[in-house]
């Protein structure tokens, strides 16, 4: 097998790189470290960039009118390289086979590259404007076409490859959504309180983002060590020989599957309106609802939007288990669209905006939290129909959508600012005070439409699109088809068939047995060291365990 990283003696065969998750089923440690804390670090820099990179360019670097034209066009051009980067990563992941999975190994590499490119992004030399623009272009391309695609594709695959258990997969998707919300909330709540103290000083920005880069790398490392690709392991441990599936065959399988096409269109629109809101948030708070960098408006809006997302943790997973993923998303989008309408009626009113955004975020939570569970169901359906998985290619497409949209929306937004005459703030040469000019009506309309209007329309369209996606009804039949095909391949190769769930159960029993033996050996060593009686200490331990069982 000539797949990337497929050699049995590869780097990832080393005990140092082995997953710390041994359980057959998803448990708390994997949920907390692998799908909550870890991804927060992976997405942290991206969420900060979405909200503040543009204001860093326009307000901190003071690049001038000609540079604004460049910042309008360059992100659009770079979208091509970003698309290529995401597509290449998807192909590489699909061709990767290691004992640690096909996506997880790239989490580590991505963590390093994200940290390095983040520092590079803010280490822009002062002086010559041409040099500054070239530095911006190169650092932007490294981050968005190499570093972040590696992370985004790998991270997006963790839920689909984690397990076939529907409830566990929905839970992991919800927790991953919480991680994304937490990273976004940091950019929307914490950052606005900190940024005014930077006083638009690029050196302070560099120090701060270097710290963020280090934290990001540490968290992504946790994500690598505390996740497990159980679905990838099915083929490896059952010794199923994988046929090389051509790119054309995979593309045909995906683009002729109506569920996949619809969910990708949904994903595109949902991400587009979200990106436009993120890019415009700081400007909307600075010029429409509050005053420039008042350290209050953006933080309050961040809290207002963060509370319903946090509250949604309590009901999204139970709701999806009761009425299904699709219905949860559909009802939520109707509520979100109504909330956007309330805020749009009077975007200058604190009361209207707060009520509207609260409803908008409450309703959007199901889509944000469980969309990857829906995509996972669609990928299982594609596998059942075609006999092969298209995880890497599918996620590279969604990665292209997310990454390209960031550049596309940034270019569109900057183009609108340039066309309507946005006036960047200046710094008083004597006092060092930042002075913001009032914007004209056309520019203010750009802020309102990008922050509220586009999202209102987009959510209505998304609600219509998701209605025919009823793939959940086919899951039981699809999983049965997949298992029968796996069994036939194993028996045809002369192997012994063991149901994947049974194999995981046996692995769990072996892991529990080994853990118990290790505990007894540790207790024996401690008793010998402290002069205690092993049998008495063991009896106490067993008594405590029995009492705990009875009380639970």
Does residue 406 sit in the same domain as residue 529?
no
Q: Is residue 18 part of a domain?
A: no
Does residue 518 sit in the same domain as residue 482?
no
pLDDT of residue 237: 65
pLDDT of residue 552: 59
Does residue 467 sit in the same domain as residue 508?
no
Does residue 67 sit in the same domain as residue 87?
yes
pLDDT of residue 153: 85
Task: Answer whether 192's CB lies under 8 Å from 210's CB.
Answer: no
Written as six digits, the tokens of 124 are 């822009």
Domain boundary among the residues 444, 461, 486 is at 486
Count Cβ atoms below 10 Å from residue 134 Cβ, excluding itself. Answer: 12
Distance of CA 238 to the CA centre of its chain: 31
Does residue 526 sit in the same domain as residue 480?
no
Does residue 427 sit in the same domain as residue 528?
no
Written as six digits, the tokens of 465 are 């699109």
Task: Answer whether 276's CB lies under 8 Å from 479's CB.
Answer: no
pLDDT of residue 2: 44
DSSP 8-state secondary structure symbol assigned to residue 17? G
Q: Is residue 423 part of a domain?
A: yes
pLDDT of residue 10: 62
Q: Is residue 13 part of a domain?
A: no
Does residue 441 sit in the same domain as residue 461?
yes
Task: Answer whether 472's CB lies under 8 Å from 435's CB.
Answer: no
3-class DSSP state for residue 119? helix
Does residue 270 sit in the same domain as residue 219?
yes
- 256 phi/psi in degrees, rounded to 5: -100, 0
Distance of CA 157 to the CA centre of its chain: 10
pLDDT of residue 7: 44
Radius of gyration of the CA atoms of the chain, in A: 25
**How far is residue 220's CA from residue 216's CA, in Å, rounded to a whole number?**
6
pLDDT of residue 218: 95
Does residue 337 sit in the same domain as residue 436?
yes
Where in the sequence is the domain holding 64, given as residue range(s)? 27-231+246-486
Q: Is residue 204 part of a domain?
A: yes
Residues of the chain with pLDDT under 70: 1-10, 64-66, 166, 235-243, 432, 504, 508, 511, 552
pLDDT of residue 511: 67
pLDDT of residue 460: 96
Q: Is residue 253 part of a domain?
A: yes
Helix axes 148-162, 166-185, angle to 10 degrees: 150
Q: Is residue 165 part of a domain?
A: yes
pLDDT of residue 224: 94
pLDDT of residue 53: 85
Domain boundary among the residues 459, 486, 513 is at 486
pLDDT of residue 8: 44
Please state the domain count of the chain: 2
Domain boundary among the residues 465, 486, 507 is at 486
Does residue 477 sit in the same domain as residue 502?
no
Partner residues linked to 426 by β-bridges: 435
Max Cα-Cα span within the chain: 83
pLDDT of residue 240: 60
Q: How many CA atoms lie within 13 A of 294 on its CB side?
A: 16
- 166 phi/psi in degrees, rounded to 5: -60, -45
pLDDT of residue 243: 66
**How far is residue 20's CA from residue 266's CA, in Å, rounded to a whole number?**
35
CATH of the domain at 185: 1.20.1250.20
Does residue 327 sit in the same domain as residue 347?
yes
Q: Is residue 8 part of a domain?
A: no
DSSP calls for 38-85: HHHHHHHHHHHIIIIIHHIIIIIS---HHHHHHHHHHHHHHHHHHHHH
**How far is residue 187's CA from residue 413's CA, in Å, rounded to a whole number?**
19
Does residue 452 sit in the same domain as residue 523?
no
């Amino acid at each position: 097998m000539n797949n990337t990283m497929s050699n049995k003696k590869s780097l990832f065969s080393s005990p140092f790189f082995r997953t710390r998750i041994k359980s057959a089923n998803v448990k708390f440690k994997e949920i907390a470290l692998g799908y909550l804390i870890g991804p927060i670090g992976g997405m942290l820099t991206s969420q900060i960039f979405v909200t503040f990179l543009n204001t860093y360019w326009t307000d901190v670097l003071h690049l001038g009118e000609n540079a604004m034209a460049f910042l309008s066009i360059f992100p659009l051009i770079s979208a091509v390289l970003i698309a290529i980067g995401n597509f290449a990563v998807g192909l590489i992941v699909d061709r990767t086979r290691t004992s640690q999975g096909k996506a997880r190994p790239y989490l580590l590499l991505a963590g390093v590259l994200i940290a390095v490119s983040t520092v590079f992004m803010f280490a822009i030399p002062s002086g010559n404007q041409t040099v500054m623009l070239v530095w911006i272009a190169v650092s932007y391309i490294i981050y968005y076409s190499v570093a972040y695609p590696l992370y985004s594709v790998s991270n997006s695959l963790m839920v689909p490859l984690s397990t076939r258990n529907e409830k566990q997969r929905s839970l992991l998707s919800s927790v991953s959504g919480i991680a994304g919300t937490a990273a976004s909330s940091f950019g929307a709540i914490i950052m606005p309180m900190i940024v005014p103290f930077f006083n638009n000083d690029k050196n302070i920005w560099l120090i701060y983002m270097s710290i963020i880069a280090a934290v990001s790398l540490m968290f992504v490392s946790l994500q690598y060590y505390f996740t497990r690709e159980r679905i990838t392991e099915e083929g490896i441990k059952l010794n199923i020989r994988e046929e090389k599936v051509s790119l054309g065959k995979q593309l045909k399988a995906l683009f002729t599957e109506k569920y996949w096409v619809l969910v990708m269109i949904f994903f595109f629109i949902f991400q587009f309106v979200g990106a436009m809101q993120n890019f415009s948030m700081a400007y909307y708070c600075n010029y429409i609802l509050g005053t420039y960098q008042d350290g209050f408006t953006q933080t309050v809006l961040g809290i207002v939007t963060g509370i319903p997302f946090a509250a949604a943790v309590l009901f999204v997973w139970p709701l999806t288990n009761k009425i299904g993923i699709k219905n949860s998303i559909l009802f939520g989008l109707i509520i979100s669209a109504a909330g956007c309408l309330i805020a749009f009626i009077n975007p200058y009113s604190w009361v209207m905006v707060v009520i509207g955004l609260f409803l908008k975020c409450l309703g959007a939570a199901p889509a944000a939290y469980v969309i990857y569970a829906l995509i996972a169901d669609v990928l299982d359906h594609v596998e059942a129909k075609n006999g092969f998985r298209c995880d890497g290619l599918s996620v590279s497409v969604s990665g292209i959508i997310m990454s390209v949209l960031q550049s596309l929306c940034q270019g569109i937004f900057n183009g609108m600012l340039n066309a309507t005459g946005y006036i960047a703030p200046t710094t008083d040469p004597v006092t060092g005070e930042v002075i913001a000019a009032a914007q004209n009506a056309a520019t203010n309309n750009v802020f309102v439409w990008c922050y509220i209007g586009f999202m209102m329309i987009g959510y209505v369209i998304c609600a219509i699109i998701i209605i025919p996606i009823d793939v959940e009804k086919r899951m039981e039949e699809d999983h049965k088809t997949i298992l029968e095909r796996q069994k036939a391949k194993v028996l045809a190769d002369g192997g012994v068939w063991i149901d994947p769930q049974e194999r995981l159960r046996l692995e769990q029993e072996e892991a529990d047995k080994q853990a118990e033996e290790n505990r007894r050996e540790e207790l024996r060593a401690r008793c010998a060291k402290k002069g205690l009686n092993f049998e008495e200490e063991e009896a106490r331990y067993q008594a405590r365990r029995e009492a705990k069982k009875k009380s639970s």
